[in-house]
Structure 1
Amino acid sequence: MQFSYLEHVDHELLPTIEILWEVSRVFNSDSDHYVSSFYQQLNGLKDNSELAEKEGSERLRELCKQFYFQFAFSKAPESMLTTKRVLLDRAIRLRTGEPLTLALLLQEAASYHGLVLELIDFPGYPLLRFDYEQCSYFVDPSNGELLLDQQVQERFEDATDEDDEDFSWEMLEAADQKTVIVRYLSELKHALIADRRFADALTTVHMLLAVLPDDPYEIRDRGYILEELDCNHVAVDDYQYFVEQCPDDPSAQLLRLQLENWTTPQTVLH
């Protein structure tokens, strides 16, 4: 499978949002309808005097108010990932999404109205950062709340184990395009697997491999999906590759045993 729009993310030749619209089109033929409606709503905000008259952090607060109350976007109610809450066009249609999906839509809404929000690849789920007059403001994309420095640090502590690395403000640097695309596609892959849409999950793994060629973990996941699709004869090669590349990974021993069972001739008793 060829996904030319994913092959050069290291060089950031295309805007991230344009790449993600293309991803949505792969899975939904009516995707453009919802993308168009989203931009129509954004265009309607140009007539909003409260937004137009404000600047800086107050403009950001007003935009968040419009996004979460006027447009009625909200965090997905399910505790588990589902495809309809990850794909951008489905989130537009249903007005609910995972925090990363909401972050990407809010980031685009802000850009459309002259505000630059940077996506932070934060533990748990991402944040958005807005820099204005030598100050940084952080947006929680699940609800649009602007966080103070102490709240950001508390978010980090809640999302990590005590033995993990200590918090540092360097963690709040903007994520590059490749990091964002991989995180998004990984969420989409897990959501498709949870929805048991294995053929579509296989497509998503091929997308990830366009960004991360020969990545052993993506190849292992491809093997799992192929196994679910009753293609064990093809999954063998992917599992074998993973075991050879990552022999010390905890899952490698289980896969070795599975490969042995698949290749050992079975004795038929009469």
Structure 2
Amino acid sequence: MYQFTDDQLDTMPLAEGGARLNALIDPSQPFEAVMNALDDLAEDAEQHCMVLPDERDRFDCLVRLFYGEWGFCGDHESFYHSDNLFLSKVLEARSGSPVTLGAIFLYIAEDMELPVKAVNFPTQFLLRVDWRDSREPSYFDPFEGVFVTQHLMQAWLIGQEGPVAEIKEKDLKATEHSTIIGRWLGVAKGALIREENYPLALRCSDLALHFSPEDPHEHRDRGYIYQQLEVSHLAAQDYQYFIDQCPEDPAANVLKLQVMVLNETPAVLH
């Protein structure tokens, strides 16, 4: 089921890693069609923008093309829906989440040899542009299609972490694609659980545990999914693993009761 490693994810374009992730979560997701669509967009962008000699002009041209002519935009109305995490659906609907829009934009920017990198900022996915004519990078919000200041980013961080939060140097650095894919996977799992699509949520959990097999919180989440799927003995095993690894966690006492109930539940054959 699992066809790539962290090192392989780090060397491939983020959108390709995302498309492979999508296909592992949902085998009906068309990997080749997504890559062909991305290549078509990249070719269109080259024809429109590569005639411009200045990289800032080429970047602005791509922004106008992406958010204007092509009509990509952030999905404000259904931000947390799982459709926004699957590239084939984002390419079709022309709306998505910060990471999916960012991955598509980054794929095209890299094809145009623009100095753009992915940044796993604590509050949301951003793009960093390291201009060749400046020592100071710019930061681009792919969800809104605009540049953002560090002052605004600081405000986002305070809103999430509290009034003493400060931006750290690591928050602004280019991030390995495997790390971003891991965050993408977690967001997809959460969306699918909210939508009660437990079979696909289980695929997310299994995939996460393939990369981090000893993560107790992933075992806890998979236990919840197994419980919803009425696979009681596997739910109890995952809950017990979490309890053993995190005995001081407030959730441990609640899960101990769940394990007792689950162990008394007759096995259901699926």
* Shorter-chain TM band: 0.7 to 0.9
CA distance in 1 between partners of 2:52 and 2:225 (Å): 52
Residue of structure 2 equivalent to 1:231: 231
Partner of 2:142: 141
**Cα deviations by residue, 1:181-200 (Å, 9 ceiling, x for unpaired):** 11011011111112221111
Q: Show CA shifts across 1:171-222 (max 9, x none).
A: 2011122311110110111111122211111111111112212211111111
TM-score relative to the length of structure 1 = 0.88
For residues 221-248 of structure 1, the C-alpha deviation after alignment (integer angstroms, 9 at most, x for no partner) is: 1111111111112110000000100112
Question: Higher mean Cα deviation, 182-191 or 246-255?
Answer: 246-255
Would the aligned equivalents of 2:202 and 2:225 in 1 still touch at CA under 8 Å?
yes
Equivalent-residue separation in structure 2 for 1:194 and 1:171 (angstroms): 29
The whole-number CA distance in structure 1 between the counterparts of 2:85 and 2:38 is 16
Do structure 1's residue 178 and structure 2's residue 181 form an aligned pair?
Answer: no
1:208-247 pair list within 5 angstroms: 208-247=208-247
Tell whether the 8 Å contact from 2:34 to 2:87 is kept in structure 1 after alignment.
no
CA separation in 2, counterparts of 1:129 and 1:11? Answer: 19
Q: 1:114 to 1:182 in 2, by over 3 A?
A: same
Distance of aligned partners of 1:168 and 1:8 in 2 relative to their CA distance in 1, 3 Å threshold: closer
1:32 to partner: Cα distance: 2.8
Return closer, same or farther for 1:122/1:63 CA change in 2, 3 Å cut-off: same
Does the Cα contact within 8 Å between 2:82 and 2:188 map onto a contact in 1?
Answer: yes
Task: Determine the structure 2 residue equivalent to 1:158.
Answer: 159
Structure 2 unaligned spans of 5+: 266-270
Mapped contact 1:35–1:89 kept (Cα < 8 A): no
Separation in 2, partners of 1:161, 1:79: 26
User: What stretches of structure 1 of length at least 5 have no aligned partner?
Assistant: 266-270
Matches of 1:252 and 1:14, distance apart in 2: 39
Distance 1:186 1:149 in 2: 26
The percentage of aligned residue pairs carrying the same residue is 26
1:92 is aligned to 91
Residues in 2 aligned to 1:140 and 1:96: alpha-carbon distance in whole angstroms = 14
1:92 deviation in Å?
Answer: 0.8
The answer on 1:64 being equivalent to 2:72 is no
C-alpha distance in structure 1 between counterparts of 2:229 and 2:221, whole Å: 12
Matches within 5 A, 1:25-174: 25-26=23-24, 27=26, 28-48=28-48, 50-132=49-131, 133=133, 134-163=135-164, 165-174=165-174
Alignment equivalent of 1:19, drawn from 17, 20, 37? 17
Q: CA RMSD in A?
A: 2.2
More displaced 10-residue stretch of structure 1: 17-26 or 80-89: 17-26
2:207 is matched with 207
TM-score when normalising by structure 2: 0.88
List, as ranges, runs of 4+ consecutive aligned residues in structure 1 with deviation greater than 4 Å. Answer: none
User: For this pair of structures, how many residues does the alignment match?
Assistant: 261
- The separation in 1 between residues aligned to 2:9 and 2:104, in whole angstroms, is 22
Seen in structure 2, the aligned counterparts of structure 1 residues 23 and 263 have a Cα distance that, compared at 3 Å, is: closer
1:158 and 1:248 mapped to 2: Cα distance? 28
- Equivalent residue letter for 2:120: D
Letter of the 2:136 partner, please give it: C
- Aligned counterparts of 2:242 and 2:203: Cα–Cα separation in 1: 19
Against the structure 1 CA distance between its residues 53 and 15, is the aligned structure 2 distance closer, same or farther, given a 3 Å change threshold?
closer
Q: Cα distance, 1:128 vs. partner?
A: 0.7
